[in-house]
């Protein structure tokens, strides 16, 4: 992985393949350097909050003063309500051990949760976490968010799906690109100010996507963020960056990762021209 997002954008690597094996160095496809226009953003840490180091974070939402978090791994997947300042789990629903939990979205009085390879998603009552219904899909389930009208879903490929929240039927799809070439391994999603933000699995980068065209117009570089966390108190080492949430009322941006001991509030700012 190149050390900076600038190097990442300049690296003429092959298109990234899906899956865990043989991941190339860059999550962005090859493209002439002169044609790449996304703005690069760096971060400043504003606050550091506790985060359960046993939570394999797959989805994160901030709403009404609390975090809703979806966690993964077989036998450890859950849906949680978490107090931001303390990291205390206020409410939890555990998935059956046959399900590997993935991304979540909170829309109205319901919470939607994907699973990885089961082809099944869950809809819960937001207050009680009681399961209301299930839905199916033909792809893997990775990230989930919404734009107020549609659920927005990723599956680890360059495709992002827009689904009707009532029927869960696909309404449309986009292919995420840089200079016409696909961006792979799109994972956890968040919808912020009319744009889709997607974590790129196994990297320290997120990309900002135009939901109408699929074109990436920004790259957020979180290199070195985990190093600012307190030392882990468990034997399990922290995993990759994965978890982004936004406080729309107070313009606060939150980032964490799988098995990370901390959750960060950050400010983003464009990198000065070099």
What is the per-residue pLDDT across 140-177, written as a single tens digit (0 to 9) for each? 999 999 999 999 999 999 999 999 999 999 999 999 99
Which structural domain, as residue segments, surrounds residue 117?
37-270
Provide the token pair at 235.
């034997």
Q: Specify if 212 maps to a domain.
A: yes
pLDDT for residue 10 is more than 50 = no
- Is the distance from CB of 119 to CB of 99 less than 8 angstroms? no
**Higher pLDDT pick, 179 / 96:** 96
Number of domains present in the structure of the chain: 1
CA atoms within 13 A on the CB side of 170: 12
Q: Specify if 22 maps to a domain.
A: no
Looking at residue 121, its pLDDT comes to 96
Provide the token pair at 79.
């849906």
- In angstroms, rounded to a whole number, what is the distance separating the alpha carbons of residues 232 and 238? 8
pLDDT for residue 232 is more than 80 = no
- In angstroms, rounded to a whole number, what is the distance separating the alpha carbons of residues 140 and 152? 14
Q: Specify if 24 maps to a domain.
A: no
Check which CATH number belongs to the domain holding 184 and give it.
2.120.10.30
Q: Specify if 13 maps to a domain.
A: no
Looking at residue 238, its pLDDT comes to 76
Torsion of CA 215, 63, 41, 259, to 10 degrees: -100
pLDDT for residue 224 is more than 70 = yes
User: In the beta sheet, which residues pair with residue 229?
Assistant: none
pLDDT for residue 35 is more than 90 = no
- In angstroms, rounded to a whole number, what is the distance separating the alpha carbons of residues 116 and 262? 24
Q: Specify if 21 maps to a domain.
A: no
pLDDT for residue 74 is more than 50 = yes
Provide the token pair at 251.
């313009």
Q: Specify if 31 maps to a domain.
A: no
Q: Specify if 1 maps to a domain.
A: no
pLDDT for residue 125 is more than 60 = yes
Provide the token pair at 30.
């090859």
Provide the token pair at 264.
């960060």
């Amino acid at each position: 992985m190149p050390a900076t997002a600038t190097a990442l954008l300049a690296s003429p690597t092959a298109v990234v393949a899906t899956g865990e094996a043989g991941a190339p160095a860059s999550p962005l496809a090859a493209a002439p350097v002169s044609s790449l226009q996304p703005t690069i953003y760096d971060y400043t840490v504003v606050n550091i909050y506790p985060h359960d180091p046993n939570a394999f974070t797959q989805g994160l939402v901030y709403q009404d003063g609390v975090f809703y978090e979806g966690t993964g791994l077989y036998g450890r997947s859950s849906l949680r309500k978490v107090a931001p300042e303390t990291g205390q789990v206020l409410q939890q629903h555990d998935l059956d051990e046959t399900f590997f939990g993935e991304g979540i979205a909170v829309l109205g009085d319901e919470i939607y949760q994907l699973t990885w390879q089961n082809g099944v998603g869950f809809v819960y009552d937001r207050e009680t976490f009681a399961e209301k219904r299930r839905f199916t899909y033909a792809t893997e389930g990775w990230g989930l968010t919404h734009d107020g009208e549609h659920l927005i879903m990723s599956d680890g490929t360059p495709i992002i799906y827009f689904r009707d929240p009532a029927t869960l039927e696909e309404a449309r799809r986009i292919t995420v690109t840089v200079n016409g070439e696909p961006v792979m391994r799109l994972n956890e999603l968040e919808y912020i100010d009319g744009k889709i933000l997607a974590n790129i699995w196994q990297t320290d980068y997120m990309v900002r996507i135009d939901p109408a065209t699929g074109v990436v117009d920004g790259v957020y570089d979180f290199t070195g963020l985990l190093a600012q966390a307190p030392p882990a108190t468990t034997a399990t080492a922290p995993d990759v960056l994965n978890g982004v949430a936004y406080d729309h009322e107070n313009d606060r941006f939150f980032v964490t990762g799988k098995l990370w001991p901390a959750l960060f509030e950050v400010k983003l700012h464009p990198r000065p021209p070099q």
